[in-house]
Amino acid sequence: MSRPPVGISRQNRVVHLRHHRLIGVRLALSLALILAAAIGWRVTNVLASSHSSLGPSSEEAPTPFQLLPGNVIRYTTAPDVSTIAASVAPILWFAPTELSLQGAAQLPQPLPCDVGPDESVVYYTAEPGAGVIRDYAVETIRFFFYYAQDVGTGCHSNDLETVTIEIAVKCQDGARCVGAIRSVVSDAHGSPHYANELWINDDNSAAVSLPITLLVEANKHATGPDIDGDGRYIRGLDSNCCRDAWGVRDDFWKGGFAASLGVYREHMTAQRSPRDRVGPSLSSETNCPLGCGGKSGLPIRAYQLRKFPEGCVTGSVKYADPPPEPGCKTRPLRTFLIEKGLVPSSATRVERFLAEAWRSSSLSVEDRRVGASFRVLRASSFGYYGLDMSLRTGRETISADYQFFFEPSIARTVDWYAEAGLRNRVDARYAPDGSPISLNRFEPIAEVGGVIRWSQRFDFRIGIGTSRYDRVRVVIGVAHGLAHVPAPW
């Protein structure tokens, strides 16, 4: 077979070489286009992410506030009452023995006079603030938690619990505002002297985890602040005002002497599970950029925050109180609204005074004289003090005593007390001719003794007293509700 001419083969090789070069150029162009598209896609994403990191676009509404570590609340604009309430709305942490959690109820429950949706809800009102303190505007927000049933010892229908949170807000240029919680005061079964009070200052602000967590007492629903959201109530840390703060006693609903008497102990609060929490509707990205809710973070379940319904206060909404559980008392919701100061009371000042006097009254016997007394208390970190006003009468003597007193505790089962003051004494005497005369005189008096308490409202007292004109005398008394009347100053 003959070979092709040399010129023709050389020409074919040239054609093949040009063809391969053309294919290589096309592949290079294709790779360049693919690479350019990938680079363009990456640049677009980077620009988009950097744009979003600078802040929301003009079409997105900025978050009204951010909760930051160290008890710092940053507002994007000058806040109104609803924004302040939302920024300090608490997390509620229920006990594992809360019976209502085992049913279909969403806690806290809506008021029967609330016409809003039937869902978990917390109410608030704006209370008169303390004015301006060191360029900070102090606002007071009061939150209300409603439960259809109070369960256990002393159970009743319609349980309305409250907590008062005070916040200081400072604004610059009318827009840049920052706030800090000053105090959290949780009611403890209606007694101001057993209230769980947390006061926040420079010494403990670093421990604050926002939103503030409230531990809810099992089935009785009294609350206590939990400054760092760890699920424990530690006296001195979570409550730092009064030495006899009630705490959170999760076995109180079961009744019994040990559950209701004595000072609070940490074992009285049951260990809690993060799944039993409910909190305000917050975004972890916008409202909590550095984390919220303590070690457990934000709760999975959220409640709705609403202003306290006007129809409940005015009575314009007709509603029916829920029936009590078997063996429990019926307490109308209206009674709670009056007690909480939401509805003006029809009682006169004299009637209210007599009611308070009965709640703080005591009977005593001193040197064959029978007397009755009325006390007002004021709490402090070192104990309780106040004024004891008593009237005693005997066969030939009548006296009015005004004494300042001190008690280290109003919760201990066994304790001591001391009193000192002034007595206005009137003695009946007879002149040599047999005509009656009276001797009116003032004398200093003092008394010291011991106390044995057998309930929150009743105690037994025995003491030794002396005065300028009398010998040493023994005083025996039974007191009713001494810890339930605050001093007026």
Q: Hey, where are the domains in the chain?
A: 65-339, 349-484
Residues 6+ apart with CB under 8 A from 366: 392, 465, 473, 474, 475, 476
Please check whether residue 77 is in contact with residue 64, taking contact to mean a CB–CB distance below 8 angstroms. yes
Q: Got the DSSP string for 171-221?
A: EETTTEEEEEEEEEEE-STT-GGG-EEEE--TTTGGG--SSPEEEEPTTT-
pLDDT tier at 223, thresholds 50, 70, 90: very high
Q: What tokens does 455 get?
A: 């309930």
- Percent of the chain at pLDDT > 70 equals 76
Q: How far is CA 115 from CA 160, 199, 331, in A?
A: 17, 36, 21
Mean pLDDT of 368-378: 77
pLDDT digits (tens, 9 = 90+) for 227-257: 999 999 998 899 988 778 889 999 989 875 5
Residue 51 has pLDDT above 70, yes or no: no
Helices and strands (H, E) in the chain, number of each type: 6, 21
pLDDT for position 87: 96
d(CA 123, CA 128): 17
| Number of CB atoms found within 10 A of residue 265's CB | 11
pLDDT digits (tens, 9 = 90+) for 84-108: 999 999 999 999 999 988 765 689 9
Mean pLDDT of 466-470: 80
- Percent of the chain at pLDDT > 90 equals 43
Top-tier CATH class for 349-484: mainly beta
pLDDT digits (tens, 9 = 90+) for 300-317: 999 999 999 999 999 899
Indicate the range of 20-29, 43-52, 154-163, 290-299 predicted with least confidence: 43-52
